[in-house]
Every structure is written in C-alpha cells, then in structure tokens.
Amino acid sequence: MPTRRLMPDVIKNQELTCLPPGATVRDAATLMAEKRIAAVLVTEGRTLKGIVTERDMTTRVVAAGLDPDTTPLSSVMTADPDTLVPSATALSALDLMERRHYRHLPIAVDGEVVGMVSIRDLFAVVRAHLEDELRSREAYMFGSGYSAEATPG
C-alpha cells in the first residue's frame, strides 16, 4: 500500500467536535446525534484530555446506571488516549486501532488535538488501494498485446 499520511492524505479540512471535561454525557450524546458521529474529543482549549465514544456511553453510563444529565464526561471518558501525529501513516493507524480495538483515534501534536481518524476513514483508504491494485493487474493481464479472442497464428 502506498504511503498515505493521516493528514492530509486520509483526512483534510476536518471540523473537530470537542467538549470540555465538565460537559455532561447528555451534552455529548446530543452533539453526537446532531452531527451523526460516534465519538467526541474532550479538550481544555485545544489540549486533548480524553475521548468519549458511543461504546463508552453504553458501557460506562447506561449499563452502570448513571444519569447522563449529571454525569460529567471527565468521569466516563478514556483519559489521555493514544494518539498519532499527522505524519503517521494510514497503515500505522490501522495497526494500532486493530491491536487496541479502537474505532476512533485522535491525531495530536504536542498534546494539542488537530484531528481524529476513524476506522471508516481508513476503510476508504484500503478500499481505494485495493481498487487501484485490481485495475493495475487487469491492465497488466488484459492490456496491450493481449486479447482473449486472438488465436495463435
């Protein structure tokens, strides 16, 4: 797979969805529903403090019987999450996400969040790569000088 960097090859011009640690789980759920996303970054300014995902809400809030209206994100977020730098490759992100069972991975520089890559973003990269490979192999196999209808002479 050609080297594709997380930024700008995989994600570009991304609007970050962030909330402060004191925001409630309800705030995060409402924001996630409005934006049709599955994770929110928890930040103070641009400094990454944590991440909250749909899975976190299910296991750490609903299953635990917590009140989403009073539970702060700081008590249910994954604090100090793993991050990658923008120049990291798509393959390194995919590897980390597979090993750690993540579906979302923040991209940060010196503790400041600059983006987030999802497994869906990486799937698009892998799919494009596979399609390119298939086209290339078909061109090689069936390209110039070859015809399935040609008969030896």
CATH of the domain at 90: 3.10.580.10
Look at residue 35 and tell me whether its pLDDT is greater than 90.
yes
Q: Is residue 83 part of a domain?
A: yes
Predicted confidence at residue 148, as pLDDT, reads: 54
Q: Return mean pLDDT, the chain.
A: 89
Task: Provide the domain limits for residue 41.
Answer: 15-142
Closest CA to 6 of 99, 124, 102, 101: 124
| Domain membership flag for residue 5 | no
What predicted TM-score, i.e. pTM, was given to this entire model? 0.80
Determine what percent of the chain is predicted with pLDDT higher than 90. 67
Q: 31 near 10, Cβ under 8 Å?
A: no
Q: Are 71 and 103 in contact (CB under 8 A)?
A: no
Q: For residue range 3-29, what is the model confidence (pLDDT) as tens digits?
A: 788 888 888 888 999 999 999 999 999
- Does residue 2 form part of some domain? no
Number of domains in the chain: 1
Stretch 91-115: mean pLDDT: 95
Q: Is residue 93 part of a domain?
A: yes
User: Tens of pLDDT along 41-54?
Assistant: 999 998 999 999 99
Strand residues in the chain grouped as ranges (E):
18-19, 39-44, 47-53, 78-79, 104-109, 112-118
Separation CA 148–CA 127 (nearest Å): 28
Categorize the per-residue pLDDT at 76 as very low, low, confident or very high, splitting at 50, 70 and 90: very high
How much is the pLDDT for 44?
A: 97
Given a cut of 50, is residue 145 above it in pLDDT? no
Rounded CA-CA distance 61/67 in Å is: 7
